Amino acid sequence: MSKRLEKRYKRKKDFYVPSIGDVVYIPPAYYLSHAIHDRHGGQSKVICVTIDDSDGICVWVEAFPHIKFDWQCLWERQEELQKRYGTKTAEACPDYSPEFNSWD
For residue 6, with 0-12 CB atoms within 10 Å meaning exposed, 13-18 middle and 19 or more buried, which class applies?
Answer: exposed
What is the value of pTM for the model shown? 0.81
Q: What is the pLDDT of residues 19-34, one digit of tens each?
A: 999 999 999 988 777 7
Residue 2 has pLDDT above 80, yes or no: no
